[in-house]
A and B are shown apart, each in its own frame.
Chain A
């Protein structure tokens, strides 16, 4: 009889067909086929938009209004707020809206009272209102209802479970350890500093901030993303007419590819206090300092270039040339010095420009010139080694430096002065190339403006002594005489480049693990061998045949070294984690309160993972943190018993346990020490967090 009643009720329920409204079908759906007294469950307002039609998010953007649901539920029932999945931007000419096209599921949690009678039937009524637009708009409304039988167990509705799961993946993650702060607020823009997960995905794709409040952020504004050391800066234009500057700016950040790699959370909720501007200012200064420092170093580096064997002789000759050429006319000499500087700066900027064009081309081809790319790190390290070896004299780059002084033409006139600046730059290349190459390597990872500035300052630094000496030609006598000391200095500079490789190796180790470092070492060895071969048999002193063979061998070796090292990089770049992915898993045991009580009473250390198949963060945490070799080893080492509380089908025992820890949602991670003291871990785990917590037991 009972079965018959239930069957009848199910049938009634299944009869609830979508309602056809203007340009959409709407329907009230439930994740469950039966409900249990006192246990909350999820229903949703489902909208199937006709093609190109859309309804709106909680902040509709420039136009439109958000969808609203008014509930009429039996006494004792509580209906929660709509849980909004992240929207998409819908641009109509200059007007930017936030909304949804195609299929939309807006979930709402329903909490029934605990005194429901089994085998009765409850009806939930909802009246929904919305605005549906393509170009033109139509208001819509519908009265919807849903009947569900009360039972002593929750039965999931296979028809809709997947829809709910898919929608949960689009809900913004609210509990996380991201830090956000105001960086700068001007009349027309706001910059927010975001410190993201320690394990962030290096390929986030497009990032977009959707504000909750209307009337502050300009919805149609471009959003500039600037990578920082441990996150990024996002800069957004403000509304033309600001209604009111809020105390806090909240909203969601959406990443195109998932914040922790593919198939991970795409939306994350952030709140930024924007009253505290002072903090933003101090940030600005701290960051600003480093760019000025970089430019200062570029300038100093440029000056040091003058001490290289192939540059210093040129310096005296050039200045003497100026002086002779202009006779005693001081202003003429200064003018020459300035024009020479212009020539040097211009040639450096042209070089930088070529580099930028190359970079733009590379980006189109999908090359990432980023320090995050292990391949790029390897190439850069190999180049640095080659440059260092060149400084050590293992081999020479380009023409011999011997007779450069004589090559600079002392052509008269202003053009002549500029050209001699260009010529000096070009002819000094054999000595400057190693440094220029290194500077190029780093500058290529920087924004256009930084690249250009660094090069300009390098050039200014190089031209500075010329300029100074053209103003004070009498200072020429203070210039050290060229001599063997310059070769010593050159060789010493080689060690600076080698030191840089250590740093790159460290970065590579963090990204790709110790195997990759071994690969890098091998690559460096091969590259060193290549340099030696080229130096020994590839120079002008050898026969043409020998030289060609040596050059080909050297180049092949360098290419082979990089290729070989690259094969040591794990297939899936680990972004910034230090943990290698492995198939190891913790020896999970099934959770029961009884088991926990027993283990704790026995003085065992216990870890409980409250999880669910539909909880995206739970899955990601398990995959990239809990089931990693390091964590698994630590569990074994410390004898921690891992228990898994799988709440996929809302087990009442787990619900109760969650409530005990003041929670009604997953993920939740709880650790008991041998005295039975409890530590709760954050919802977004990193290997560091887990290992630290285990250490403290």
Chain B
């Protein structure tokens, strides 16, 4: 019976694999799947444009209380500034479907970026959710780091304190800055995966 069972699961795996050939899938220590999205100023960006640079992907939804925690607490902007100054590319990606929470027109996005004094390289719009699903992004925030060779080296939460309280930012272990510091010091990333926390990404149904 076991054999049949594994056979069935093998079929299922195969089935899911075939569906993945269409849209590549992100895996740790494997080349990160490429994508092309338009930013809030109408410019197109592809991941492959940034080869030779470290790239941070930040799944964002400005109205999610977990995202608010890190923006109202000046945590996210601080990280964006600190690392973009070190030539790291920081891409915020919003996978909220049109009409769902976190989906805004470009004027509103740019207003919010300005209000928060945010410093991402670009705010990319993924209203179809394709890129989000490619990276299995589940929460906002959900963070990813891609190294200079285009390999995915971190996927997970921004830190280890799962809460909406700004007071928890201080004292938390920030996995993103830890990994970036290690990469910039040419060290191996010590924590490559952590469990993300936040609101669910508001994908199209």
Contact = CB atoms under 8 A, between A and B. Distances in A.
A695 interface: no
A287 B199 contact: no
B37 interface: no
B174 interface: no
B138 A62 contact: yes
A136 B1 contact: no
Interface in A113-143: 131, 133, 135-139
B104 interface: no
Interface string A59-96: 00011110000000000000000000000000011110
Contacts of B3: 284, 287-288, 291-292
Nearest to A240: B136
Contacts of B100: 135
A131 B165 CA distance: 11
B65 A131 contact: yes
Interface size class of B (residues with CB under 8 A): 35 or more
Interface in B155-186: 155-156, 162-165
A372 interface: no
Given A189-B9, A226-B1, A65 B197 contact: yes
A94 B199 contact: no
B145 to A, nearest CB: 12
A283 interface: yes
A437 B1 CA distance: 22
Q: Which of A65, A138, A183, A184 has the most CB of B within 10 A?
A: A65
Contact of B5 (A94, A224, A290): A224
B43 interface: no
Contact of B1 (A139, A244, A287): A287
A140 to B, nearest CB: 10
B203 A63 contact: no
Contacts of A189: 9, 13
B139 A62 contact: yes
Interface in B29-49: none
Interface in B117-146: 129, 133, 136, 138-139
B2 interface: yes
B202 A135 contact: yes
B110 interface: no
Contacts of A133: 199-200
A449 interface: yes
Q: Which of A63, A133, A138, A287 is packed against the most chain B CB atoms within 10 Å? A: A63
B148 to A, nearest CB: 21
A62 B201 CA distance: 10
Nearest to B69: A139
A419 to B, nearest CB: 32
A135 B25 CA distance: 26
B23 interface: no
A233 B2 contact: yes
Nearest to A188: B13
A214 interface: yes
Interface string A135-164: 111110000000000000000000000000
B75 interface: no
A292 B133 CA distance: 40
B204 A93 contact: yes
Interface string B78-101: 000000000000000000000011
Contacts of B165: 139
B23 to A, nearest CB: 13
A242 interface: yes
Contacts of A450: 4
B195 interface: yes
Q: How large is the interface on A (under 10, 10 to 19, 20 to 34, 35 or more residues)?
A: 35 or more
B133 A94 contact: yes
A189 B203 CA distance: 25
A93 B199 CA distance: 13
A188 B136 CA distance: 14
B interface SS class:
loop
A93 B198 contact: no
A537 to B, nearest CB: 46
A228 B196 CA distance: 36
B135 to A, nearest CB: 9
Contacts of B202: 92-93, 135-136
Most buried by B among A131, A183, A447: A131
A92 B96 CA distance: 12
Nearest to A139: B164
B55 interface: no
B108 interface: no
A513 interface: no
Nearest to A137: B199
Interface string A273-310: 00000000001100110111000000000000000000
A156 to B, nearest CB: 37
A136 B2 contact: no
Contacts of B9: 186, 189, 191, 224, 235
Contacts of B151: none
B26 A136 contact: no
Given A65-B163, A135-B100, A241-B136, A291 B200 contact: no
A95 B201 contact: yes
B200 A138 contact: no
A189 B5 CA distance: 12
B28 interface: yes
A442 to B, nearest CB: 14
Interface string A174-211: 00000000011010110100000000000000000000
A621 interface: no
Nearest to A229: B1
Contacts of B201: 63, 93, 95
A224 B13 CA distance: 13
Contacts of A449: 4, 7-8
A555 B202 CA distance: 61
Given A93-B205, A94-B203, A184 B65 contact: no
A243 interface: yes
A184 B6 contact: yes
A545 to B, nearest CB: 51
Contact of B101 (A95, A97, A136, A242): A136
A241 B199 contact: no
Interface string A227-248: 0100001010000111110000
A519 interface: no
A598 to B, nearest CB: 55
Given A94-B133, A139-B164, A226 B5 contact: yes
A215 interface: yes
A291 B100 CA distance: 50
Interface in A223-271: 224, 226, 228, 233, 235, 240-244
A447 to B, nearest CB: 6
A64 B200 CA distance: 7
A278 B26 CA distance: 30
Contacts of A244: 193
A290 B3 CA distance: 10
B63 interface: yes
A291 B3 CA distance: 8
A240 B2 contact: no
Nearest to A233: B5
B97 to A, nearest CB: 8
21 contacts: A63-B138, A63-B197, A63-B198, A63-B199, A92-B200, A93-B203, A94-B138, A94-B203, A131-B65, A137-B65, A137-B200, A186-B9, A191-B6, A240-B26, A241-B155, A241-B156, A244-B193, A288-B2, A291-B1, A292-B3, A447-B4
Given A222-B12, A243-B194, A284-B6, 18 more contacts: A63-B201, A64-B199, A65-B162, A93-B202, A95-B203, A136-B64, A136-B199, A139-B65, A139-B164, A183-B2, A186-B9, A191-B5, A215-B193, A243-B193, A284-B2, A288-B2, A290-B1, A447-B8
Q: Please provide the 5 A-B residue pairs with the shortest distance between their CB atoms, ordered closest to farther.
A: A287-B2, A93-B203, A63-B200, A215-B195, A95-B200
